[in-house]
Structure 1
Amino acid sequence: MQSERDAKARHRQSVETSLKNSTRFNVQLFRETGSFGHGTGVRNYCDVDLLASMSSMNGYQPTSDTALLWVKDTLRASFPATAVQIRRPTVAIMFANGAEKWEILPGFRTSPADDVPVYNIPGPASGWMSSAPTVHLEYVNEVNQRDGIRGGAKKLARLAKAWKYFNQVPISSFYLEMRAARYLEVQTSFQPFVHLCGYLEWLNEIQLADMNDPKGRASRFAACSSTATRASALPKLRTATSRARKSADAEYAGDTSTAFHYLGLLFAGVFPRR
């Protein structure tokens, strides 16, 4: 991961400079969010998420579509040879022909300066939703550091994201991470593949239901960007649940070979290796 961090860090200043020079909006600060700097990323699937806390030149908050368009047009003007696309809720800029991807999230702060930062960010399909990124990161860290769990929340999140990426499951990585922390919040220990099985079974039981902000500072958030993507994700989740259970049962029975066989299927043959 360090090599990825070094490579991606080289573009941060140019991206920030581009947005700061915009004539359409002002940027108060940049805040790195998501898995890249949080220890929950999957190698070669970890993008840089950068929240741009901004305001319009005339002081009003535009529509979320307009805010995304402003960011896209600004980056395109600065990087004419680089692909820049709106991919709600962010604007994605693909350096090195897509090998290095940054996702820029426009945010308009709604909380007082002396309170926890809460932002309006683009919703997954339309409109605005509220988000408290620092609170969300702190929540995962709190669970991750609990006795008996030590490191488990982030490990479980990485396993869930690896399953998602390797099987092309259209579920939000943020949702998987927050649900992983919520699942382990009531556990007293952590065993990676035992709890991965339980976690996937739980997601299947609740049918990827929307999740309340665990700290009560922001909007409920969805697992998928639309009804259609959720309908696509659920069958893949059911298959994953079956494979994870067969792997766990085989391990309990002392049949390590069969356990690894189903783990291989679970992770589309990419992981784990013996």
Structure 2
Amino acid sequence: MAKSIDEGFSAFLTWLVPAASEHDKARAHKSSVESCLINGYGCSSFFETGSFGNGTGVRHHSDTDYFAVIPAKNLKEKSSISLREIKESLQVKFWNTAGIVVNCPAVRIPFGTWASEKMEVTPAYFYGMVEYDGKKFAKYEIPDCSSGWMNSSPSAHNYYVQKTDDAKSNKVKLLIRLIKAWKYYWEVPIISFFLEIYVTRHCSNESYIDYAIDLALIFEKLEKDNLPGLYDPVGISGHIKPCSSDAQHAEALSKVKSAAGRARRAINQAHEGKIDDAFLTYDLLFNYNFPAR
């Protein structure tokens, strides 16, 4: 039970932290997946990325993501062909694992029921170094979901998020986790990477972070701008789309509008001293997963 809105968010954020052993089932297969890709494609590096890799994962909902760095000569000009071939190779290796699919820009291997037990393997090839904020980071080409390849640098983007988090009292990653929880609880088809960069960019322009206020500001801005794409502030990935298709964009925008209204209503209720009502509204915002008062 929480007495104040701040206590409610603190308790909720504690619940959202993935358990230390949560994605061990996927990690347990790391060596065998890597071995398959070494033997078949000359994979030179296999490292974890994504939400678990940078500390913004949500319990039971975030995939376990890996980059498989493969020599460009061993990949096809059309990334869709490489994804299909890698998927087929992994299906042969894990012949008793049902549901291995291409989930661009990766191949998804479901080693368990929870999302955290599903490994997403993104083929990549080294494409030189990129400089950001006076530092150099490895850059890769990964599938762009249109049969081509696009720039990516997980280490540069992680640095961008971490630097902003450090500057804002370590609340940026927690705000990202809250937004991602909303996404997962309501099955909103917004790309997680987009949310991560969008929220970080928002926070970089704020003097301090207040979870209730910034949730409302982010949802309202997304609604006002019609759920826009954004240009990568790190200067690597170009234009970052919020969704994979027009149909997904329409569905996501509808859910953003609902979230904006609820987040603002909860703030107004709290300001009027209607704390019980505010808790109920936050519970609705997070699809009945927010702590009770």
- TM-score range with shorter-chain normalisation? over 0.9
Give, in angstroms, the shift of residue 229 of structure 1.
0.8
- Tell me whether 1:89 sits opposite 2:108 in the alignment: no
Gaps of 5+ in 2: 1-18
Q: Alpha carbons of 1:76 and 1:32: their partners in 2 closer, same or farther (altered >3 Å)?
A: same
Paired positions, count: 269
Q: Aligned-pair distance for 1:217?
A: 2.4
- 1:170–1:229 contact (8 Å) kept in structure 2: yes
Closer/same/farther in 2, CA of residues 136 and 160 from structure 1, 3 Å limit: same
The partner residue of 1:206 within 225, 231, 244 is 225
Residues 166 and 268 in structure 1, CA contact (< 8 A), matched pair in contact too = yes
Contact 1:55 1:61 in 2 (8 A): no
**CA positional deviation for 1:203:** 1.6
Look up the match of 1:73: 88
Instruction: Report if the CA contact (8 A) 1:72-1:91 is conserved.
Output: yes
Secondary structure of 1:3's counterpart equals: coil
The answer to whether the 8 Å contact 2:140/2:152 transfers is yes
What residue is the counterpart of 1:41 in the other structure? Answer: 57
User: Contact 1:88 / 1:125 at 8 angstroms: preserved in 2?
Assistant: no
Q: Per-residue deviation at 1:271?
A: 2.2
Could you tell me the TM-score, scaled by structure 2's length?
0.86
| TM-score calculated relative to the size of structure 1 | 0.92
Structure 1: which 5+ residue stretches go unaligned?
Answer: none
In structure 1, the residue matched to 2:154 is 133
2:25 and 2:112 in contact (8 A); partners too: no
Looking at structure 2, the residues matched to 209 and 165 of structure 1 have their Cα atoms a distance apart, in angstroms, of 20
**Counterpart for residue 4 of structure 1:** 22
What amino acid does structure 1 have at the position aligned with 2:174? K
TM-fit CA distance, 1:133? 1.2
Quote how far apart the aligned CAs of 1:238 are. 0.3
Which fold has the larger relative contact order, with Cα–Cα distance below 8 Å and residues 6 or more apart in sequence?
Answer: 2
Residue 247 of structure 1, CA deviation? 0.5
Give the aligned CA root-mean-square deviation in angstroms: 1.9
Q: Does the aligned pair in 2 maintain the 1:131–1:219 contact within 8 Å?
A: no
Secondary structure class of the residue paired with 1:179: helix
Deviation at 1:7, TM superposition (A): 3.5
Taking structure 1 as reference, are residues 61 and 266 closer, same or farther at Cα in structure 2, changes over 3 Å only?
same
CA distance in 2, matches of 1:60, 1:107: 9
Query: Equivalences for 1:94-243 in 2 at 5 Å?
Result: 94-97=110-113, 100-112=117-129, 116-146=137-167, 149-243=168-262
Q: Secondary structure at the match of 1:141?
A: helix
